């Protein structure tokens, strides 16, 4: 055996080639020699460096003599200097001119994240082009293959890992996040003029350093909190291609496929259950700007991204996007993106903004199409509300919408829908065969026109037949564009004017005017669950405004009901939507038909007419505080005046009279009805006490009913002052006589 030791570093393959030839010459000149070797401290190329190199010629006297190369380690250039190949041995070495080829070898792999004690290894050294490849490197139960090519300052890396299991994923992911993002991925400077003052250049360096530190910290924190660090099962297939120059990455192409993964993130905002997911992203950089495009496909299982829960039942859910990002300023331009869930919805558009620890949207245009509104509600809308107003709503139809956002604020919206059906289990809203378009802009000078149409509509149980509504909207306001007549309860509600103006930090301003024509009182009371009443309602609704938390009635509200008229005037309400509203009003009743009014109540039948008033009415939290009221027979009433025995008893009980005893102990008990001349009762409410009054004084009491022709009866009241709550309780009893207790 002959040894030749070269203590110096060999930097040129021609010199190494000379030494290699010298080794051959010595070996073949000595017939008794079987093995010759040459020790070289280093072989350094333009990019790769072999240390502890030893060249051997084995089996010199045999026909199949073999050249062998061994080295203690192979050092890679930046940005891959974290990867170290050691214990290198090449059993099939070919040396030709300036080329060194290792056709078959082995090595061990060491890195920050993992180690592999043995791997298949090949390499090629050339002053212009160098390559190396290792395969079957152990990566947990998986195997990793890596190919690298270096040509001058340019390089390209291809890597592939298959079936990376949950144990390795659980170990690697936190390590990958904990390690700082290398500065080499961030361009060293932004585009700026070549001539830059020294002070400005220093400031820019400080700014870049601050951006870099903030970005790294934000990415590390967010990634660690959101990746699936608590993995129960699943595996990963991964392939990647990266290319660059010097220590900078210039292009990348990454494909990953997750199979059957189950786990969740530390903060619980991301979770997967038996999820199959494909992911592909590629990008390139120029002048500090990264151009990228990517695609993700959820193929199976379930995925939770707070607050949205996605489950694949049939076709995959896909996300596609492309754009640019400046890693110095963090400005991101998403030139196009789309999210598609077949048979549910498709969202597409573009966006621009900044991403650091939070997302700030400068501008975005978003299109939404959905043919399955129910799935859209339950999957993508309801989860964003703690108590969603749509939680018990079923919706069907098609929807097309477009939204524009500028500086985190919605600036334009256009929503078009067709064949809309809405069914609210809580009875708030029902729509059948709805169509229309809603257009809105925050530009105060641009009033956009909208239209809503339906075959049937129900609001809080109030049915509205087929109609079309036109209105304009802008900023924080909308108003009715044209007068409209809404068919309601066999009659109509005509809306002549309606406007709504929102106010920042305050309640909105509202204005309304219209009229009611022949609304069926019977249908209305039935829909509202009240005691059924007969007749129709008609009336003029003058200007009603709500301003500075005060509701005001301009003019008089006239309601035609029970063949008479109810007039409401001087209506004013404050704190209407607060916890303690207050209402003031004046009310007049003119010639109401008592037969229509009492025929549907348990109070008892009365014929004739009724007029009266309620003056200075004040309600606080919807409870009467004060008023002066009178209800009685009109002076000029010439209609038939009859009253049932039940009504007589109930009126007497309200006024504290003795009519019940009189009827039960006299011949009057044989009559079902009596004739009367007048009925009248008044109340002045103050400090919780009602001062009662009647038609006229009589002895210690006052007339509530003054008799007429035979059979006649007079009813007197004897309680001049009654506690208001006691009086209300009496009224409740007479309304339900089967529960009444007469003392």
Say whether 521 sits in a helix, a strand or coil: helix
Whose structure tokens read 């005001």?
Answer: 552
Q: Beta strands 642-644 and 409-424: pairing type?
A: unpaired
pLDDT for residue 122 is more than 90: no
Instruction: Flag whether pLDDT at 692 surpasses 50.
Output: yes
- What pLDDT shows up at residue 180? 41
What percent of the chain is predicted at pLDDT more than 70? 76
Give me the mean pLDDT over the 316-323 stretch. 93
pLDDT the model gives residue 616: 93
- Give the span between the Cα atoms of 429 and 454, in whole angstroms: 13
In whole angstroms, what is the distance from residue 55 CA to residue 98 CA? 16
Asked whether residue 275 carries a pLDDT value surpassing 50, the answer given is yes
**Measured over all CA atoms, what is the biggest interatomic distance in the chain, rounded to whole angstroms?**
158
Q: What is the mean pLDDT of residues 435-442?
A: 90
Q: How far apart are CA 572 and CA 698, in angstroms?
A: 39
pLDDT band at 187 (very low <50, low <70, confident <90, very high): very low
CA angle 609, 612, 618 (to 5 degrees): 145
Q: Is residue 410 a contact partner of residue 442, using CB atoms and an 8 Å limit?
A: yes
Indicate if the pLDDT at residue 154 is higher than 70.
yes
Distance (Å, whole) CA 695 – CA 688: 23
| Model confidence at 150: pLDDT above 50 | yes
What is the separation of C-alpha 414 from the centre of its chain, rounded to a whole number of angstroms?
18
| Nearest alpha-carbon partner for 466 in 483, 452, 447, 480 | 452
Query: In this predicted structure, what is the pLDDT of residue 661?
Result: 46
pLDDT (mean) for 125-132: 81
pLDDT in tens, 72-113: 777 777 767 777 777 888 887 777 767 778 888 888 877 766
Domain boundaries, the chain: 2-135, 153-329, 344-480, 483-561, 610-739
How far is 647 from 595, CA to CA, in rounded Å? 12
Q: Where are the beta strands (DSSP E) in 246-344?
A: 248-264, 270-286, 289-305, 308-311, 317-326, 331-341
Q: Are 657 and 715 in contact (CB under 8 A)?
A: yes
Please give the full DSSP string across 316-385, using - where no structure is assigned: PEEEEEEEEEETTT-EEEEEEEEEEETTTEEEEEEEEEEESSSEEEEEEEEEEEES-HHHHIIIIIGGG-
What is the pLDDT confidence band of residue 155, given thresholds at 50, 70 and 90? Answer: confident
pLDDT confidence of residue 21: 55
CB 484 within 8 A of CB 457: no
User: Which two structure tokens, joined as six digits, stand for 222?
Assistant: 């967010």
pLDDT tops 50 at residue 5: no
CA distances from 443 to 186, 362, 398, 412 (A): 40, 17, 28, 8
Higher pLDDT, 557 or 410: 410
Instruction: Tell me the average pLDDT across 707-726.
Output: 80
- Cα of 438 vs its chain's centroid, Å: 20
**Cα 224 to chain center, whole Å?**
24
Banded model confidence at residue 715, pLDDT cuts 50, 70, 90: confident
Task: For residue 524, give Cα distances in angstroms to 481, 534, 575, 601.
Answer: 28, 10, 28, 16
Local confidence band at 347 (pLDDT 50, 70, 90 cut-offs): very high
**Cross-strand pairs, 520:** 536
Average pLDDT, the chain: 77
Stretch 599-611: mean pLDDT: 82
Q: What is residue 562's predicted lDDT score, i.e. its pLDDT?
A: 85
Q: Which two tokens stand for residue 578?
A: 């607060």
Query: Which range among 339-348, 465-474, 521-530 shows the weakest confidence by mean pLDDT?
Result: 521-530
pLDDT for the residue 664: 44
- Selection from 230-239, 556-565, 583-592 with the highest mean pLDDT: 583-592
pLDDT, tens only, 505-551: 777 788 888 888 888 877 877 777 766 677 778 888 888 888 777 77
pLDDT at 292: 93
Of residues 303 and 114, the one with the higher pLDDT is: 303
């Amino acid at each position: 055996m002959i040894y030749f030791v070269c203590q110096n570093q060999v930097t040129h393959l021609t010199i190494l080639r000379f030494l290699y030839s010298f080794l051959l010459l010595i070996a073949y000149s000595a017939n008794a020699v079987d093995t010759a070797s040459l020790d070289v401290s280093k072989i350094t190329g333009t990019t790769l460096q072999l240390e502890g190199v030893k060249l051997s010629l084995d089996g010199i006297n045999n026909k199949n003599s073999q050249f062998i190369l061994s080295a203690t380690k192979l050092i890679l250039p930046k940005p891959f200097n974290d990867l170290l190949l050691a214990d290198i041995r090449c059993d099939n070495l070919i040396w030709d001119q300036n080329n060194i080829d290792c056709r078959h070898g082995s090595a061990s792999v060491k890195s920050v994240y993992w180690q592999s004690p043995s791997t298949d290894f090949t390499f090629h050294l050339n002053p212009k082009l160098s390559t190396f490849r290792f395969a079957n490197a152990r990566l947990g139960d998986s195997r990793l293959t890596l190919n690298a090519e270096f040509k001058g300052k340019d390089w390209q890396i291809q890597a592939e890992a298959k079936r990376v299991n949950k144990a390795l994923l659980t170990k690697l992911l936190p390590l990958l996040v904990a390690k700082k993002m290398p500065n080499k991925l961030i361009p060293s400077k932004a585009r700026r003029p070549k001539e830059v003052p020294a002070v400005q250049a220093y400031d820019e360096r400080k700014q870049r350093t601050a951006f870099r530190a903030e970005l790294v910290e934000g990415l590390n924190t967010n990634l660690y909190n959101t990746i699936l660090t608590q993995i129960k099962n699943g595996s990963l297939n991964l392939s990647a291609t990266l290319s660059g120059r010097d220590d900078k990455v210039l292009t990348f192409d990454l494909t990953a496929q997750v199979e059957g993964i189950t786990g969740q993130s530390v903060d619980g905002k991301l979770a997967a259950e038996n999820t199959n997911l494909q992911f592909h992203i590629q990008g390139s950089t120029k002048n500090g700007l990264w151009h990228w495009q990517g695609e993700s496909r959820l193929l199976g299982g379930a995925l939770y991204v707070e607050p949205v829960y996605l489950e694949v039942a049939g076709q995959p859910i896909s996300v596609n996007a492309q754009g640019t990002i400046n890693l110095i300023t963090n400005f991101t331009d998403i030139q196009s993106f789309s999210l598609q869930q077949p048979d549910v919805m498709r969202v597409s558009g573009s966006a621009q903004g900044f991403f650091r620890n939070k997302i700030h949207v400068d501008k975005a245009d978003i299109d939404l199409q959905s043919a399955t509104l129910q799935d859209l509600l339950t999957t993508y809308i309801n989860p964003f509300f703690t108590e969603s107003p749509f939680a018990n709503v079923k919706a069907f139809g098609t929807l097309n919408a477009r939204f524009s956002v500028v500086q985190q604020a919605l600036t334009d919206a256009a929503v078009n829908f067709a064949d809309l059906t809405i069914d609210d289990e809580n009875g708030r809203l029902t729509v059948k065969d709805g169509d229309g378009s809603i257009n809105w802009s925050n530009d105060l000078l641009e009033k956009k026109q909208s239209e809503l149409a339906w075959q049937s509509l129900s609001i809080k149980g109030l049915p509205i037949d087929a109609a079309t509504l036109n209105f304009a909207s802008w900023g924080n306001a909308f108003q009715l564009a044209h007068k409209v007549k809404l068919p309601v309860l066999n009659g109509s509600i005509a809306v002549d004017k309606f406007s709504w103006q929102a106010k920042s930090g305050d309640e909105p301003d509202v204005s309304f005017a219209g009229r009611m024509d022949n609304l069926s009182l019977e249908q209305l009371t039935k829909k509202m669950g009240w005691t059924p009443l007969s007749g129709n309602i008609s009336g003029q609704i003058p200007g009603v405004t709500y301003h500075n938390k005060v509701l005001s009635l301009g003019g008089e509200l006239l309601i035609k009901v029970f063949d008479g008229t109810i007039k409401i005037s001087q209506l004013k309400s404050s704190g209407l939507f607060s916890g303690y509203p207050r209402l003031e009003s004046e009310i007049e009743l003119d010639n109401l038909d008592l037969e229509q009014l009492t025929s549907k109540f348990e109070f008892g039948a009365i014929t004739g007419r009724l007029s009266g008033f309620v003056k200075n009415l004040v309600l606080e939290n919807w409870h009467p505080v004060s008023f002066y009221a009178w209800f009685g027979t009109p002076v000029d009433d010439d209609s038939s005046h009859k009253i049932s025995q039940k009504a007589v008893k109930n009126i007497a009980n309200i006024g504290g009279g003795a009519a019940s005893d009189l009827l039960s102990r006299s011949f009057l008990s044989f009559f079902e009805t009596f004739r009367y001349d007048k009925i009248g009762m008044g109340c002045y409410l103050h400090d919780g006490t009602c001062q009662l009054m009647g038609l006229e004084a009589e002895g210690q009491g006052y007339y509530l009913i003054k008799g007429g022709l035979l059979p006649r009866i007079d009813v007197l009241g004897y309680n001049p002052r009654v506690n208001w709550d006691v009086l209300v309780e009496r009224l409740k009893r007479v309304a339900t006589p089967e529960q009444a207790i007469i003392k």
